[in-house]
Structure 1
């Protein structure tokens, strides 16, 4: 009798959980959506940079901007730039170099920032996650006490480094994307720090709630696996974690990131090899998590941010994605069940590398080129 009650209770618990899980439709292909030349915003160029990669805001409204060759700047909203010293030496070539930067959850008291970069290694190059104290004073702007807290081991590989940082909503841990470094098969190797989303404590140690925390090493650090080239990672207002990644010839993806799941690369994709050789589709392997939105033809998604500002109230809760290939700002909206779909694609006539939202609700973009604009977007009316 006790066993039966326990079983009924367990079934009731599972049923209750099921009611909380959104019922998603089949993957939506948004690849052929046209870009609109009509924009509901006006665009103002504020400053220019050499191959910028990431943009983030400080609490006072100033920005930090990284340049792939190794430059780091603090920038005012009127375009005054000041270079920050103490940046580590980076291996800047192709897709590699100085990558993401994010301020710590306790930045107001700690002044800590986290940054990712690719460094030279005996085996070639490797991705590094480091933290440092940011000092901004009248007479200096510098990183102090730079401390690497995670290094890709073993090193080696080509481009597609990943390197995006996202702090959990409680500010206790962080998530880090690691691309496959152009070695696709390593994305399915649990002992390779490639093609993964890692979950780390703020000091680089392994959180106890990771799927394989007890194994230590890369296995212990891994949250999800089977990713190709993830350049966007952000938490939605409801606490769910989303990732966008570039596919091969087709099959760019927007994925809901859930603990312990395998997203299939390179065993499945909604794109094909650049040679034209087909790759099995997600629909043929249901054991792998499929993207909720994908793009064939590709958009080459880069920076990802969720909008919660006041200037564009109609966009609250939307995801904003930089489109490199399509030279656009892409907006993804979510229906009442949580299903995403591309809602808008605004032609920016430039490769959009990163997107950020200022404290006042304005949207900021950086381009991807040797002479790139930093742009502020505000409503037309």
Structure 2
């Protein structure tokens, strides 16, 4: 799609930024910050996994952990592991495989979980969203009645699948990130689900109050567009939805998501193409939403969690983002005027894929490695 065609499409849909000049001015480059001088936590190895990808806590404080090759485990806080059967076949390789796991908002009433994964099929692979009942009996577990409630079509090739799930605070809607699969122009195409954040009902259907619900098809499911490789999605205590995503060569982003907004990829970025060709910066195109924080050089953000626990009271209201290239994680603090900044950076020497907060307030991390550790962080 040409730039002129993109402009026509955006005009038809009425997609524009809101106050983008102010947002661009508020954008902060975290850059290559020095690691924090002290680590106010003790990291304890609880278990190990083969390329783990996501953590989700159950109400009883056990957790579900996915492995990218296609396995799902039930894990106790002490590290005892039970493999869950009935996991769908995945297209595994590179960035693709079994991705996120999320516990339904009403899990205590009916034990339903959601999975995202890259699904193989005719023509290649594509992102899929499925839900199933988690059946646990003694030391065994299985997924029953697995149902694919959404899939990106047509299938194709490429990494950068996205696949992060977040539920609205009222538990009525599901938000899903879909990466551009290394096909950048799709992020600006409203007829393709790639490069988007989608808003769905819990059964995968389309809410009637989405920004373009009346237009039907993929357009009706879009919440925001213009994203590259979104690997973190979470609501804060105020009910605001935040997303982190990987830029190209520079320009990793932390964005505050607003319905119907366009975040600019690949027309604008605070990084450049891998071949060295420049990309216009956000401040040159005020019609696109700019990130509140960006990183050049990159940290390769993955996993996003907001903290409201009691073990680390000094961090209440902060967000934590895993870093794959940075091999650690960062803490984001938020100002009363709506700004955000990187407050701490801890380099652990391993690729941190996901960050989660346990019911007791401990922080949990997983390493994106073939013998990756599950780590529990508690105060020193």
The two structures have a TM-score, normalised by structure 1, of 0.93
How far, CA to CA, are the matches of 1:227 and 1:25 in structure 2?
Answer: 20
In the alignment, what sits opposite 1:372? 372
Give the match's secondary structure for 1:110: coil
Q: Map of 1:279-294 to 2, 5 A cutoff?
A: 279-294=279-294
In the alignment, what sits opposite 1:307? 307
In the alignment, what sits opposite 1:213? 213
Give the match's secondary structure for 1:187: helix
How far, CA to CA, are the matches of 2:187 and 2:355 in structure 1?
Answer: 27
CA contact (8 A) 2:83 2:140 kept: no
Gaps of 5+ in 1: 1-17
How far, CA to CA, are the matches of 2:275 and 2:151 in structure 1?
Answer: 32
In the alignment, what sits opposite 1:273? 273
In the alignment, what sits opposite 1:58? 58
CA contact (8 A) 1:24 1:338 kept: no
Does 1:119 pair with 2:123? no
How far, CA to CA, are the matches of 1:373 and 1:213 in structure 2?
Answer: 43
Does 1:45 pair with 2:71? no
Deviation at 1:26, TM superposition (A): 2.4
Q: Map of 1:5-24 to 2, 5 A cutoff?
A: none
CA contact (8 A) 1:121 1:156 kept: no
CA contact (8 A) 2:331 2:344 kept: yes
In the alignment, what sits opposite 2:196? 196
Deviation at 1:140, TM superposition (A): 2.5
CA contact (8 A) 1:248 1:271 kept: yes
How far, CA to CA, are the matches of 2:34 and 2:209 in structure 1?
Answer: 42
Closer, same or farther: CA 37–73 of 1 in aligned 2, 3 Å: farther
Give the match's secondary structure for 1:220: helix
Closer, same or farther: CA 37–96 of 1 in aligned 2, 3 Å: farther
CA contact (8 A) 1:25 1:339 kept: no
Deviations 1:175-231 (A, max 9, x none): 000000000001000001100000000011110111110122110100000000000
How far, CA to CA, are the matches of 1:25 and 1:279 in structure 2?
Answer: 19
How far, CA to CA, are the matches of 1:25 and 1:275 in structure 2?
Answer: 28
Give the match's secondary structure for 2:87: coil
Instruction: Give RMSD over aligned pairs.
Output: 1.2
Deviation at 1:34, TM superposition (A): 1.2
How far, CA to CA, are the matches of 1:157 and 1:260 in structure 2?
Answer: 27
Which 4+ stretches in 1 moved above 6 angstroms? Answer: none
How far, CA to CA, are the matches of 1:94 and 1:38 in structure 2?
Answer: 34
In the alignment, what sits opposite 1:163? 163
Give the match's secondary structure for 1:38: coil
Q: Map of 1:82-121 to 2, 5 A cutoff?
A: 82-121=82-121
How far, CA to CA, are the matches of 2:115 and 2:340 in structure 1?
Answer: 29
Gaps of 5+ in 2: 1-17
How far, CA to CA, are the matches of 2:203 and 2:56 in structure 1?
Answer: 21
Give the match's secondary structure for 2:109: helix
Bigger CA radius of gyration:
1
Deviations 1:238-280 (A, max 9, x none): 0000000000000000000000000000000000000000000
How far, CA to CA, are the matches of 1:298 and 1:61 in structure 2?
Answer: 33
How far, CA to CA, are the matches of 1:234 and 1:215 in structure 2?
Answer: 27
Deviation at 1:357, TM superposition (A): 0.6
Deviations 1:109-139 (A, max 9, x none): 1100011000112121010000000011215
Does 1:357 pair with 2:357? yes
In the alignment, what sits opposite 1:67? 67
Give the match's secondary structure for 2:187: helix
The two structures have a TM-score, normalised by structure 2, of 0.93
How far, CA to CA, are the matches of 1:192 and 1:157 in structure 2?
Answer: 15
In the alignment, what sits opposite 2:297? 297
How far, CA to CA, are the matches of 2:295 and 2:227 in structure 1?
Answer: 15
Deviations 1:6-45 (A, max 9, x none): xxxxxxxxxxxx9xxx988421000221123520000100
Residue-pair matches, total: 360
Give the match's secondary structure for 2:26: coil
